Structure 1
């Protein structure tokens, strides 16, 4: 059975949004590393805060909304996907990805208030989380274990 054209357009928009979202997810905690490193340099911190805010608001949040909306729309159009174990694996990883995004937003707000509750090392460690989740998602979708 051939997939209908509208489904393929939805899927294409989903993939583009996921790529944009991950670009931000890969970068946000790297900015936080610099933010923590430069905490004694007000001009640098001010620049980083603008970059962090714009990354979250202009790239990450819209991309996340489009990715989740298009993903949900695909599931509405192809509900049989919800019976497949690989989809459960993918959706579980997406759930953690949404939590990571929320934690990044929380972290940005705290850093903007001058609350350096995470060390540089912790920010570096958190920077690896989206890579691990991406590996799980790609394996789930392509290999379908």
Structure 2
């Protein structure tokens, strides 16, 4: 039974992450559409709102709840996992991802009301946070107690700096055109 629940857990982690990654890309395009002249701005904004709502309520949010349900089921089936220190760290990152999810939901609602507080560059950096959390969770789960926390933290910080630099370089070349 555990293997089936684990498979469901992994499948919906992939779906949830895909939803989060694509949602923030839609936010970026939605934000950039605000610089377009009318009627393009209105047409694009209406289309992005439809895409965002469908992605959010049909894929991202149900996937998040299924990930949590499958994870809770695995802990019910193997309660000994609760004694493993690596699991506590993983759950902390998952909690962070749930908070990230609801912040994205708040952004979606703001944009639907015509409120655009973040620039497309800020949204690109925001998108990298989910990537960093994903990397951290995968390494924690795969390496478990073999994780050397000092090297792990240094690695995540370096990876974050590389991602942020890539965003800045992309912005530079994009503005250069």
TM-score band (shorter)? over 0.9
Name the structure 1 match of 2:138. 138
Residues matched between the structures, number: 140
Instruction: Report the counterpart of residue 27 of structure 1 in structure 2.
Output: 22
Radius of gyration: which is bigger? 2
2:168 aligned residue: none
Distance 2:22 2:90 in 1: 22
Q: Answer yes or no: is 1:102 the counterpart of 2:102.
A: yes
Q: Does 2:32 match 1:37?
A: yes
Deviation at 1:120, TM superposition (A): 1.2
Partner of 2:82: 82
User: Structure 1 stretches of 5 or more lacking a match?
Assistant: 1-5
User: Partners in 2 of 1:47 and 1:112 — Cα distance?
Assistant: 11
Deviation digits for residues 72-107 of structure 1 (CA, Å, limit 9, x no counterpart): 110111111111111011101100000000000000
Residue in 1 aligned with 2:125?
125
Partner of residue 13, structure 2: 18
So what's the TM-score if we normalise by structure 2?
A: 0.77
Q: Deviations over 1:30-62 (max 9, x none)?
A: 110101100241101111111111111000011
- What is the aligned-residue RMSD (CA, Å)? 0.8
Runs of 4+ in structure 1 off by over 6 angstroms are: none
Structure ranking higher on relative contact order (CA contacts 8 Å, 6+ apart): 1
**Which ranges in structure 2 are unaligned for 5 or more consecutive residues?**
148-177
- For 1:110 and 1:125, the matched residues in 2 are separated by 19
Q: TM-score, with normalisation over the residues of structure 1?
A: 0.94
Aligned equivalents of 1:115, 1:26: Cα separation in 2? 21
Q: Identify the residue that residue 3 of structure 1 maps to in structure 2.
A: none
**Deviation of the 1:138 alpha carbon:** 0.4
